[in-house]
């Protein structure tokens, strides 16, 4: 293994990890507020097409990312209205959002098929971003750094701020939070919107960075991996970062093993790895007897105030 190869492999891992890290962070905050949104895949696709479309029209990838965040958040609001206002079942509504987002993004995308935008690549000078060694730090799209910065910011918000405390309170015991005067529904709207925006940016990473084009269903199931990631991480931000890179390394290892001609594991097994690992993590957590440690107590339950 040469240094070149290690650096190139690391960069592949970063590319595979960033979208699931973004979507996972958003979903983590949503779930911390007590809402289970299974529509990540649909929101990612909505973000992918929104970001792409805005970039096509404005030639500005920064606006494109904003558009992606908006597209993801807007589609999540549909889910929020159904779940928070009409108290529909969160699991079923989330699945519906995935199907809806897949279909609507395909419909919007019809007029964008076959077009390309310049890739939203590094903003650092070429001397750094193309340097054989330093590219491992400077050679990425701004979205990668955004994702990494959002990890400590999210952790700080959840555990060091008053707003974060309220959000967690709403997720742990919605009736208590309600009885001392916090708006459970308002907090959850905000958390769902944040989850949607982050999923949207994660989706834009596909349509604007990796392959700057639009193709139907181009996220190809990464939303589900992001959902598994949140559980795998036990609803902790630090572990989410580690887990995202662990999943990313697994995905890259599969490709390297195949390209190098190793066949010690059937490839279906590789594809199932993130989910198997999640099952394993859940088993370990529950075997320790700490009751899923960090799973929000109100996760997936509708809020029906008695007063």
Partner 1 sequence: MANVSRRALMKGVGAAATLSMIAQMAKAEGKVKVGFIFLGPIGDYGWTWAHNKGREAIDAALGDKVETVYVENVAEDASAVPVIRDLANQGCKLIFTCSYGYMDQTIQVASEFPDVKFEHCTGFKRADNVATYNSKFHEGRAVLGTIAGKMSKSGVLGYLGSYKVPEVVLGVNAFCLAAQQQNPDAKVKLVMIDSWFDPPKEAAATDTLINLGCDIVTTHTDSPAALQILEQKGLYGFGQGADMSSFAPNAHLTAIEDIWGPYYVQRAQAIVDGTWKSEDTWDGMKEGTVIISPYNKAVPADVAALADGVQAGWKDGSYDVFKGPIYDQDGNLKVKEGETMSLADLAVIDWFVKGVESAA
What residues make contact with partner 1 under the rule CB under 8 A?
5, 8-9, 11-12, 15-16, 19, 106, 109-110, 113-116, 119, 121, 206, 210-213, 215-222, 251-252, 255-263, 267-268, 271
For residue 182, what is the DSSP state? Answer: -
The residues that bridge with 213 in the sheet, in sequence order, are: 116
Token match 């269903």: residue?
A: 217
Q: How far is the CB of 188 from partner 1 (least distance, A)?
A: 31
Q: How far is the CB of 266 from partner 1 (least distance, A)?
A: 9
Q: How far is the CB of 257 from partner 1 (least distance, A)?
A: 7
Per this entry, what is the length of the chain? 307
Q: How far is the CB of 154 from partner 1 (least distance, A)?
A: 24
Select 32 or 222, whichever has its Cβ closest to partner 1. Answer: 222
Token match 């795998």: residue?
A: 232
Select 108 or 281, whichever has its Cβ closest to partner 1. Answer: 108
Are 217 and 102 spatial neighbours (Cβ–Cβ below 8 Å)?
A: yes
Q: How far is the CB of 122 from partner 1 (least distance, A)?
A: 11
Cα angle: 149, vertex 151, 154; to 5 degrees: 110
Select 99 or 297, whichever has its Cβ closest to partner 1. Answer: 99
Q: How far apart are CA 166 and CA 212, in angstroms?
A: 39
Select 16 or 187, whichever has its Cβ closest to partner 1. Answer: 16
Select 159 or 258, whichever has its Cβ closest to partner 1. Answer: 258
Q: How far is the CB of 120 from partner 1 (least distance, A)?
A: 12
In degrees and rounded to multiples of 5, residue 116 shows phi and psi of -135, 160
Token match 């944040």: residue?
A: 194
Are 240 and 151 spatial neighbours (Cβ–Cβ below 8 Å)?
A: yes
Q: How far apart are CA 212 and CA 124, in angstroms?
A: 19
Q: How far apart are CA 168 and CA 145, in angstroms?
A: 26
Grouping H, G, I as helix, E, B as strand and the rest as coil, residue 251 is helix
Select 119 or 164, whichever has its Cβ closest to partner 1. Answer: 119
Listed residue (224, 243, 204) closest to 44, CA to CA: 204
Q: How far is the CB of 72 from partner 1 (least distance, A)?
A: 17
């Amino acid at each position: 293994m040469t240094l070149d190869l290690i650096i190139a492999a690391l960069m592949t891992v970063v590319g595979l990890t960033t979208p699931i890290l973004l979507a996972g962070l958003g979903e983590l905050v949503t779930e911390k507020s007590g809402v289970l949104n299974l529509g990540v895949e649909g929101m990612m696709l909505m973000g992918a097409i929104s970001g792409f479309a805005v970039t096509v029209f404005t030639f500005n990838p920064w606006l494109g990312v904003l558009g992606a965040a908006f597209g993801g958040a807007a589609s999540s609001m549909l889910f929020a209205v159904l779940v928070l206002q009409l108290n529909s079942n969160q699991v079923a509504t989330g699945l519906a959002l995935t199907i809806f987002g897949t279909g609507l993004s395909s419909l919007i995308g019809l007029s964008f098929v076959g077009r390309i935008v310049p890739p939203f690549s590094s903003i650092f000078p070429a001397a750094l971003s193309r340097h054989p060694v330093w590219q491992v730090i400077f050679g990425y799209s701004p979205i990668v750094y955004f994702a990494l910065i959002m990890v400590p910011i999210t952790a700080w918000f959840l555990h060091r701020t008053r707003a974060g405390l309220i959000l967690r309170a709403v997720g742990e015991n919605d009736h208590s939070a309600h009885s001392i005067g916090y708006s459970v529904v308002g907090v959850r709207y905000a958390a769902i919107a944040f989850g949607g925006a982050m999923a949207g940016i994660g989706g834009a990473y596909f349509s604007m960075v990796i392959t700057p084009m639009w193709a139907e269903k181009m996220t190809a199931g990464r939303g589900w991996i992001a959902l598994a990631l949140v559980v795998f991480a036990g609803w902790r931000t630090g572990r989410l970062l580690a887990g995202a890179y662990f999943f990313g390394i697994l995905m890259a290892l599969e490709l390297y093993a195949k390209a190098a001609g190793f066949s010690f594991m059937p490839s279906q097994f590789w594809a199932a790895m993130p989910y198997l690992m999640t099952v394993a993590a859940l088993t370990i957590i529950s075997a320790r007897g700490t009751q899923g440690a960090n799973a929000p107590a109100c996760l997936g339950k509708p809020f029906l105030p008695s007063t």
